Amino acid sequence: MREVQISKSGQTMLEYTLVLALTLGVLISLGFFVYVFKEHGGRILDLVSSTYP
């Protein structure tokens, strides 16, 4: 009976660790996309606002 509780406890800890890792991965990916699209938007605004001779 004791071995089953240890196994369930280990499985729960593994699941929480995996969910934490996946959540951090998603947040880092979203942050990267925000940075990239913000830089691209800045370049587009620079092109649009430039004076063409």
Query: CA 35 to CA 42: how far, in whole Å?
Result: 11
pLDDT at 23: 98
Cα 36 from chain centroid?
14
Residue 51 reports pLDDT greater than 80: no
pLDDT at 18: 97
Query: CA 4 to CA 13: how far, in whole Å?
Result: 14
The size of the chain, in residues, is 53
Cα 27 from chain centroid?
2
pLDDT at 46: 83
Whether the pTM exceeds 0.75: the reply is: no
pLDDT at 7: 66
> Could you read off the pLDDT of 1-47 as tens digits, one per residue?
555 555 677 888 999 999 999 999 999 999 999 999 999 998 888 88
